[in-house]
Amino acid sequence: MLPSTVERVPRSTDEDVNRRILLQTRARLRQCVNDPDRIDPRLRELDEEWDIERVLETNASIAAFAGVALAATGDRRWLALPALVTAFLFQHAVQGWCPPLPLLRRAGFRTSREIELERVALKVLRGDFRDSLPDGPALGAWRQADRALEAAERS
């Protein structure tokens, strides 16, 4: 059975890398708990963040175009490059893995779901969903950030 669209990249990523990405997200959320003025700028940053799919598609397009251009101006054997890239894209679409994926994940590129979880958690912290997080400073920054992330995962 094929993994779901949401699960395929994290399932194909080393668990330590997935954990590091989650810890970095939690750290950013904790910063926003301690300084709520950071929430709106961070939300704007998230609007500009490229997810792993966009990065893979861009890299594949560049490599395929380069192969076609090199074949057109030189040796036809360069057509193997777009063929290889196409095979890797198919593999990624089906399995959620392709050769550049581990490098890009280690570089910190996240899935659209991972980005969206941070976005929703920030909105929870900002108060957009008042029922999702208890009021007041009774919870420490770490716990508030974790609760916001939990609320985002439930949405």
Which tens digits make up the pLDDT trace of 40-58? 999 999 999 999 999 999 9
User: What is the model's pLDDT at position 138?
Assistant: 53
pLDDT surpasses 80 at 134 = no
How much is the mean pLDDT over the chain? 91
Question: What are the tens digits of pLDDT across the range 71-112?
Answer: 999 999 999 999 999 999 999 999 899 999 999 999 999 999
Distance CA(140)–CA(145), nearest Å, equals: 9
Residue identified by tokens 């949405």 is 155
| Packing angle, helices 112-126 and 39-48, rounded to 10 | 160
User: What is the model's pLDDT at position 69?
Assistant: 97
CA 143 to chain centre: 23
**Amino acid letter at 143?**
R
Query: pTM score, two decimals?
Result: 0.85
Tokens linked to 127: 């108060």
